[in-house]
Amino acid sequence: MSNEHAFREMFKYFGEAVTPEEYDLRSGPDGPKHDFMKLPTMIMDQVTKPLAKATNSYGTRFEYFCGIVLRPERSAVVGQKNGVFCIGIYQGLLLSILELSYWLFRSPRFLSDVGAASRMTQGPPTDHASIPGGIWQHRVANGLPHFSEDLFDVPCEIRNGSAIQLMIEMVSFVVMHELAHIVCGHVGYYENVLGASYIAEIDPRRDQGTSKEQIIQRAFEHDADLNAAKNTIETNVFKYLIFQGKNAALLRRLKLIAPYLVLHLFIPNWFIRAARFEPDTTHPEPYKRAYALRKLMRTHPGMPEFRSELVQESLARDLGGFASALADPSLLIANSEFAEQLWGAEVDEEYGLARDATSVAVPYGFSTGAVAHNRKKPSAPDT
């Protein structure tokens, strides 16, 4: 059985799963080429190089396939089928990332010191039904093409290049997050303890496992977030033109903010489910994830440079610029308390438990030093 076949079998339940090449074919020989749809596969190919010969404790080789699930939600899923780890990035998540990156760099308030920000016009208009990252869904519902032509018209080379680079970093964070679920052993834990073959980032299942097992599942998300943020920041998978050999500081800022923008994309769905009293018991609320990630960046032994006040101030400023670029942040977050929680106030989160969860999961993980940064028990002193 080929990896690609395992991938299709794996995601039958979720929807139609396609390769990036198939996605392109759908637009016809003269249609638009969706290079960004190839990004997850390209990034996965690059970042799994150290795993090429790795085996897990069962002696199974690391085999994987990464493709697209043709669904409109902003989600991703990782699972195992016949020894192949399959990652499916939803079309809706990729389109949302593309839109949000360009929308933000069209705003004069986002990273206002980068390029000719003052020449920017605010991104395409938004309303209650269509917030940045979700305007395309509103357009499709009204019979329009996914994106307005002017979305990609960023009249500044630096800001245009930054939009492309930010998109790459956001996709990178998503791919690294799913990869972390594999190499940290989370997929194995699901399989062995919960009898489930996949982890879905928007999980239709509720009340899976005991309450302790649910806490462990949520802790896995924090672990995968930290792992993915660290790998995104420290790995240059692809650098867009303007970042070749220069603009290192700007590149670093984009890498720092990318994980938070991805987590932000999960908020609307989380809020809809919370309003229906159907919470996702397998994932922490996105703002808790964002908060935990900021806290970890400041304290994790493996990320000493992020304890720097300058880096923290820069991140806070850029996240603030992101919030102010939105015409009305309360529309986006649907809850004004959210901003306070995300950008500053302490929230009660479960991160401490993640440490135990990691050690629970590790025996099923693959052996690699290159991508699994928190495989060692992080409660151990930093020596």
Q: Which residues bind Zn ion (CB under 5 A)?
A: 221, 224
Nearest-approach distance from CB 181 to Zn ion, in angstroms:
6
From the list 339, 201, 177, the residue with the least C-alpha distance to 270 is 201
Which CB, 200 or 325, lies closer to Zn ion? 200
Nearest-approach distance from CB 214 to Zn ion, in angstroms:
14
Residue 132 · residue 126 · CB < 8 Å: yes
Start-to-end CA distance of the chain, whole Å, equals 45
Residue type for 139, please?
A: R
- Tokens (6 digits) for 217: 């599942």
Nearest-approach distance from CB 220 to Zn ion, in angstroms:
7
Tokens 């994932």 belong to residue: 283
From the list 353, 80, 74, the residue with the least C-alpha distance to 217 is 353
- Tokens (6 digits) for 39: 């990004």
Report the phi/psi class of residue 285: left, alpha or beta, with left for phi > 0 and alpha for psi in -120 to 50. beta
Residue type for 219, please?
A: A
- Tokens (6 digits) for 66: 């990464």
Residue 220 · residue 181 · CB < 8 Å: yes
Residue 379 · residue 355 · CB < 8 Å: yes
What is the three-class DSSP state of 199? strand
Which CB, 104 or 265, lies closer to Zn ion? 265
Which CB, 221 or 285, lies closer to Zn ion? 221
Which CB, 167 or 219, lies closer to Zn ion? 219
CA pair distance 209, 189, nearest whole angstrom: 12
Residue 175 · residue 43 · CB < 8 Å: yes
Which CB, 18 or 76, lies closer to Zn ion? 76
Which CB, 224 or 332, lies closer to Zn ion? 224
Nearest-approach distance from CB 67 to Zn ion, in angstroms:
17
Nearest-approach distance from CB 201 to Zn ion, in angstroms:
5
Nearest-approach distance from CB 228 to Zn ion, in angstroms:
9
Nearest-approach distance from CB 238 to Zn ion, in angstroms:
23
Which CB, 99 or 225, lies closer to Zn ion? 225
